[in-house]
């Protein structure tokens, strides 16, 4: 993540899909992402915040679904040390 080396288990993500009935057809209308991130000691938090702020615009899946499926996210970030 932007030059920050992370341990393999330092990042996890879960996704929740929301389906709604539209004209009697179940459609995926929203994806909610939740990230958990444990930063190593001395990591530059501003780099992490900047990466997260722009991740939807740079995510190939979110861009493929743009206009059809809303993508939102939240993150729990723990500073190391």
Q: What is the CATH number of the domain that holds 25?
A: 3.30.300.20
Closest CA to 32 of 20, 19, 18, 22: 18
Give the global pTM.
Answer: 0.76
In a domain, 3, yes or no: no
What total of structural domains would you count in the chain?
A: 1
List all residues 6 or more positions away from 68 whose beta carbon is below 8 Å from its beta carbon: none
Q: How far apart are CA 32 and CA 44, in angstroms?
A: 26
pLDDT tens for the chain, 81 residues: list them. 556 777 788 889 999 999 999 999 999 999 999 999 998 888 888 888 888 888 888 889 999 999 999 999 999 998 875
In a domain, 5, yes or no: no
Q: Which domain holds residue 21?
A: 11-78
In a domain, 19, yes or no: yes
In a domain, 70, yes or no: yes
DSSP structure string for 41-69: TT--HHHHHHHHHHHHHH-HHHHHHTTTS
């Amino acid at each position: 993540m932007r030059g920050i080396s992370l341990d393999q288990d330092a990042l996890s993500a879960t996704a929740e899909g929301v389906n709604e009935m539209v004209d009697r057809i179940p459609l995926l209308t929203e994806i909610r992402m939740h990230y958990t991130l444990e930063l190593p000691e001395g990591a530059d938090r501003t780099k992490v915040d900047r990466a997260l702020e722009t991740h939807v615009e740079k995510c190939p899946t979110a861009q493929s679904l743009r206009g059809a499926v809303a993508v939102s996210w939240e993150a729990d970030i723990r500073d190391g040390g």
